[in-house]
Structure 1
């Protein structure tokens, strides 16, 4: 509030700023997550650990663990 008043913006307008910033924050988050995922895929491919067959087959370790949790069976160590 003090910073806003210092630059000449009334403190009452903070509600408008926060309301608009929420929408913009969602857009920033989408861009951030997309960039992180893209960078992870690019680095994995450069390192030679990217296996597109494993990713598209649905049999990745993460999907197997999720299936075990849904079925109620104990997880493998």
Structure 2
């Protein structure tokens, strides 16, 4: 089995979520405008602020996916599901 095929789908999903959180805010052409306004704030400001929350959600989901996969792997190897340092 090759290394690439051994990567679980949860890791791919986590990677895509994290990559989107970094790449999308770098695409300046998607938010380089003034309209539409939200509560008087130009689009640029609330769009960037929205990505703060979306990125936090993406990181949280990615973390949970990776931890879940790690616990499944440890259980399959006969190790305890939680190490003392894991919370």
> TM-score by structure 2 length?
0.46
Deviation digits for residues 23-65 of structure 1, max 9, x if unmatched?
A: 111111111111111000000111112256xx5xxxx4x4xxx
Structure 1 runs of 4+ aligned residues shifted over 3 Å read: none
Helix, strand or coil at the partner of 1:22: helix
Q: Distance in 1 between matches of 2:43 and 2:74?
A: 46
The question of 1:10 aligning with 2:33 is answered: yes
Query: Structure 1 16/49 Cα, relative in aligned 2: closer, same or farther at 3 Å?
Result: same
> Unpaired runs of 5+ in structure 2?
1-27, 35-41
Partner in structure 2 of residue 28 of structure 1: 58
Q: Which has the higher helix share?
A: 1
Equivalent residue pairs, number: 51
Query: Which has more radius of gyration?
Result: 1
Helix, strand or coil at the partner of 1:32: helix
> Unpaired runs of 5+ in structure 1?
63-77
Q: Distance in 1 between matches of 2:52 and 2:33?
A: 20
User: How large is the Cα RMSD of the aligned pairs?
Assistant: 2.5
